[in-house]
Chain A
Amino acid sequence: MEEQLRHTPLHAVHVALGARMVPFAGYEMPVQYGSILDEHRTVRTAAGLFDLSHMGELHISGPEALAFARYAVVSDPAALEPGQAQYSMLCADDGGVIDDLIVYRVGDGYLIVCNASNHDAVLAQLTGLLAHGDFDAVIDDRSDRTALVAPQGPRAAELLGTLTDFDLATLGNYRSATATVAGIECLVARTGYTGEDGFELFCPARKATTLWEALMAAGTPFGLKPCGLGARDTLRLEAGMPLYGNELDRTVNPYEANLGRVVKMEKGDFVGRAALVAVQQAGPRRKLVGLMMDGRAIARHGYPVLVAGSEVGLVTSGTLSPTLDRPIAMAYLPAADAVVGGEVEVMVRDRPFRAEQVKLPFYRRPKPDAG
């Protein structure tokens, strides 16, 4: 029996553009419209437009919304100024990651934006905590009525500026504001998953097509192109960002994934605190590292990694980096073996290929010209 895939509000748009559609997190999503390499380079040099409407949006409100959010996630939402956002994680009692997500402080509470693949798990966790925790708060699952369209790249701000009176120069990184874009009221967030400057625009689902088409039309003089999940993955990997399902899963704790800085022990009690304190004190048993292959052989998800001839880990993500024109990868190694500059071998089709452990990220966007 054919699985019934869900569609985002922009499904017909992608099909009309000739996108190659694939199943992803229960949705039919565009993986590429043309060339993944070209889409990737377009985001790095101009701007690309992504449909992220499959992602989950869970709104928390009520008198104890903040207390509830502080208890549920590992970061501290109390540190958020109005309009500010933070990258965070929902962990389980054992410290394992249920999802990585962004918490936005908005006018009437907190918006949690989570991975499509973990929507149900995140909602179940939050609902369970609310029921047991006696918090005076409300969860409103807005996922199905919210679309998310993301222009990302060095020219994204310019092109978005032609569609709104809002002064984007006042919107710093990881800040959001309500603004009218192409006549549509949106939550405009300066967040993204590409390593470039960019925006994530949340709008009502029924306005998604109008917003997308306005951005595409406004973006033409800036070289804007539609970009799919293929380029989304190569971009985030270059930027050293984890992907839930590859670098993160229920068996991984934040310290192993180089995300210890996100955990705020000092805020008080939260789910997973005791387990995470133990990891923090003992040090994680394994660590996520970046790998740069010496030659052209590509290390991919699941390939074995050897140190001194012994298999000690697996590649979590890997591809040919379009920007560096070299194969890059991430892998978990035993903590004792994880050292920048250390040499490893990756087994590619049963043959070993040398790689060097490197600091993440592989790519950092150029600083804006100060002069």
Chain B
Amino acid sequence: MFPDDLRYSREHEWVRVDGSTATIGITSFAADELGDIVFVEAPEVGATLSQFATFGVVESVKAVSDLYAPISGRVVEVNADLSASPELLNSDPFGAGWIARVAIGDPAELDALLDSSAYAELTAG
């Protein structure tokens, strides 16, 4: 149901680790809850994210929702496609809808995240 190679936060963000960098985004559960996403305010390259602190905003037709960083790190890349195509968060939240890539601050922070089955349990309840 949720990709096995990712780690998940309770705020419905995901992390894909690739060596010393990580890609982050929101889960399909979050995207489905939000409905049509029409705007994403992503951090800038160079910004420092702090685990579980807000780092941006995602907007649906009716509402504005905060994004919470699943891990700490320095932003090294931001998905440029989201400006013109915010709907990628709905159509491909784990792939083309990625939000940012960060240089991982502290790998031990991953221990605070859920694996896919724990996240599935969280969202089932």
Contacts and interface: CB of A to CB of B under 8 A. Distances in A.
Majority SS of interface residues in chain B?
Answer: strand
B39 A319 contact: no
B40 to A, nearest CB: 9
A349 B35 contact: no
Given A37-B36, A298-B38, A320-B38, A234 B64 contact: no
Given A31-B62, A230-B62, A296 B57 contact: no
Interface in B4-62: 35-36, 38-39, 41, 57, 59, 61-62
Contacts of B59: 298, 320
A305 interface: no
A232 to B, nearest CB: 12
Interface residues of B, number: 11
Nearest to B36: A37
Interface residues of A, number: 16
Contacts of A297: 39, 41
A320 B39 contact: yes
Contacts of A38: 36
A260 B18 CA distance: 63
Contacts of B35: 32, 35-36, 230
Interface of B: 35-36, 38-39, 41, 57, 59, 61-62, 64, 83
Interface of A: 31-32, 35-38, 230, 233-234, 296-298, 300, 319-320, 349
| 8 A-B pairs with the lowest CB-CB distances in the bound complex, closest first | A320-B38, A36-B61, A37-B36, A35-B36, A298-B39, A230-B62, A298-B59, A36-B36
